[in-house]
Structure 1
Amino acid sequence: MGQFIKVFLISLLCFALTIGAGIYTYIRFFNPYDGENYTYVENPAWDKNFNEIEEDDLTPLEKAIRTSKRVNILVMGLEGLRSDTMMVVSFDRATANVNIIAIPRDTYFFREGYEAQGQKKVNAIYSASGAQGVMKVFENILKVPIHNFITIDYEGVRKSVDVIGGVEVDVPFHMEYEDPYDDPPLSINIPEGLQVLNGEKSLEYLRFRHNNDWTVGYPNGDLGRIEAQQKFIKNALKKTLSFRLPVILREIYPYIKTDLNLAEMLLLAGDAVNFSIEKLDTAMIPGYTTMIDGLSYYVHDPRLLGDMIDELYGVE
């Protein structure tokens, strides 16, 4: 699954917010949110009411969260019942800064009652607990509230890239890979060098980690792919700014599912007018890869992650 192109799409929605009510009129009349076929989150997963907690009982981070204008949105790219892509897009309404925090799909997270090997990875949570379950787990990992969610599928990824005429990428090596058992069967073949990738080739690029015999690929596996995809996002966003956003949104909106309603989008619209590519920052939760019971996991570092979140919220 082309992981970080989904970040491009959620950032694209932030861009779309800047162009006013025309976008929302389109969404309202041509693709209304009716609660069906969505993983609807009735209540925020974050259950702390800071108004009921004494100031002295709050941690420095909780004090910062209480006064912050940040909106944190979970973004997932779904592959069947599993969320192959997971990240949080944090938009500061006060400054129009956008921070994208990637959570590798192999991140270890133990849940009581889900003790099989594959169930200890965060990409298994969606199939068992839906969007709200993933939101709660990410709040547990990041220690911040997650306010909304967005999901997208393969076709939305292809459409988003094709509608802007492709994305320029400097492919670091010849990417070749075949998986006839994937659904649909996966075939990747992209030559090395600077080139413009269309939607289909972008999916291939974003999915690639190594060739079939493991002789060509990113030295650090999925983490290397994440770094490449973050560069892809910025290239895509730069190009997006030169296009008519209503046209783009019309093409991709049918493939996006979200619990953001029109009122919430309109509130964000007024705050996003000062957004620019220079205000976009991408990062990944710090940690390391390791083998646990014969399976590879990514284990996050709570101390370093805490430092990252403190910096995000301006905690000294």
Structure 2
Amino acid sequence: MNVNRGADKRKKYRWLWISGFVIVIVLVVGYPIYQAFQAIKDPLRERQSPYREEQIDLTKKEPFSLLLLGIDTNGRPDTTMVITVNPEHNNIKMLGIPQDTRVKIARSKNWDKISDAYQEGGAELSMETVEQFFGIPIDYYVSINTDGVEELVDAIGGITVENQLDFSYDGQHFAKGKIQLNGEEALAYMRMRQLEPNGEEGRQQRRYEVIGEVIRTGANIRSLTHYDQIATTLMNNVKTNITISEMIKIKNNYKEAVQHIDHISMEGTAEKINGIYYEVIRAEEVKRIKGILQKHMEYFRD
């Protein structure tokens, strides 16, 4: 596979929080950003997952899945995340897949990094590869350019978080206690690691907090000014295969699930194979994750 691997940095969770914004857009905002979705829609709309015998019926509140892709300035995926939504359970499950994760690329005999699927075949091949890896259908995808990071939080008017640690990072000071963050500050708040006494776990918790606040803030948006800002951000930074009619059905039938988000952790080990470092997920762990996702989607096809 002709991919310049370079010095791959491990970015397991850098874009985790963006998924919260996507959920807000799809489940809460709905029709007021119709024109934005007309601009960001992707031709990959008629695809039906080979793991589905028929298309899901959103009017019947059937569980569905979404693949979130964060795309960096070089056109490479910086994030691959599986999101499943079950309205009967009134919750969402989110699984971040490290970009170095070793998988068998769909339509190929090659085992490579999950990020290479996008490089080889865009969103469609990424969807197929994730489906193959976990044995579940991926119904939709949303891709977001990293250039829109600060815009996404700013578009909803900022967020409020309960900071557990007084620290300074990237030219910003974050006092302990309840603080208001704009887009630039939210990005710095999530990135800090060196001063975190709980290491990566502490940083992940800050990111999870930001996700929740983005969702809660977005769910309460009523201002037309905010809608306009969100629409502009979407048009500049997002692509999706969710149609307008599907978006409206999701808004009407699934938005209660936005209040309850469960994060799934996946365990792996760093290994060097043929001179390349990968995150290797053992078969037992893949089986465990597969079981969680299948149960949440009420999907039990072998």
TM-score range, shorter-chain basis? Answer: 0.7 to 0.9
Hey, which bits of structure 1, 4+ residues long, moved more than 4 A? 93-96, 112-115, 187-192, 216-221
Cα distance in 2 for partners of 1:273, 1:93 equals 8
Note if contact 2:23-2:258 (Cα within 8 Å) is conserved in structure 1: no
State the match for 1:99 in structure 2.
Answer: 93
**2-structure distance, mates of 1:245, 1:280:** 25
From 15, 26, 30, give the equivalent of 1:14. 26
CA distance in 2, matches of 1:203, 1:289: 27
The equivalent position to 2:34 in structure 1, one of 10, 24, 27, is 27
Contact in 1 for aligned 2:61/2:254 (Cα 8 Å): no
**1:235 Cα shift?**
2.4
Name the structure 2 match of 1:235.
213
- Aligned residue pair count: 270
> C-alpha deviations, 1:46-66, integer Å up to 9, x for none?
214537xxxxxxxxxxxxxxx
Cα distance between partner residues in 2 of 1:34 and 1:10: 13
Q: Determine the structure 2 residue equivalent to 1:193.
A: 176
Contact 2:152–2:183, Cα closer than 8 Å, also in 1: yes
Deviation at 1:232, TM superposition (A): 1.8
Q: Aligned partner of 2:63: which letter? A: R
Report SS of the residue matched to 2:38.
coil
| 8 A contact 2:21–2:214 mirrored in 1 | no
Instruction: Give the CA RMSD over aligned residues.
Output: 3.3
SS of equivalent to 2:268: strand
* Correspondence for 2:70: 77
Task: State how far apart, in whole Å, the 1-side matches of 2:45 and 2:255 are.
Answer: 29
The letter for the 1-side match of 2:71 is: L
* Aligned equivalents of 1:225, 1:198: Cα separation in 2: 18
How far apart are residue 190 of structure 1 and its match? 4.8
Q: Deviations over 1:135-171 (max 9, x none)?
A: 0111112211111111122343312212323342526
TM-score (ref. length: structure 2) = 0.74
C-alpha spacing 1:130/1:190, structure 2 compared with 1 (3 Å): farther
Q: Is the 8 A contact 1:167 1:198 kept in 2?
A: no
2:186 maps to 202
Which residue identity lines up with residue 32 of structure 1 in the other structure?
Answer: Q
Structure 1 residue runs of 5 or longer lacking an equivalent are: 52-66, 177-186
TM-score for both structures, normalised by structure 1 = 0.71
Percent identical residues: 17
Q: Does 1:128 align with 2:120?
A: yes
Structure 1 residues 233 and 281: alpha-carbon distance in aligned structure 2, compared to 1, 3 A threshold: same
**Unmatched 5+ residue regions in structure 2?**
1-10, 55-59
Partners of 2:67 and 2:142 within 8 A in 1: yes
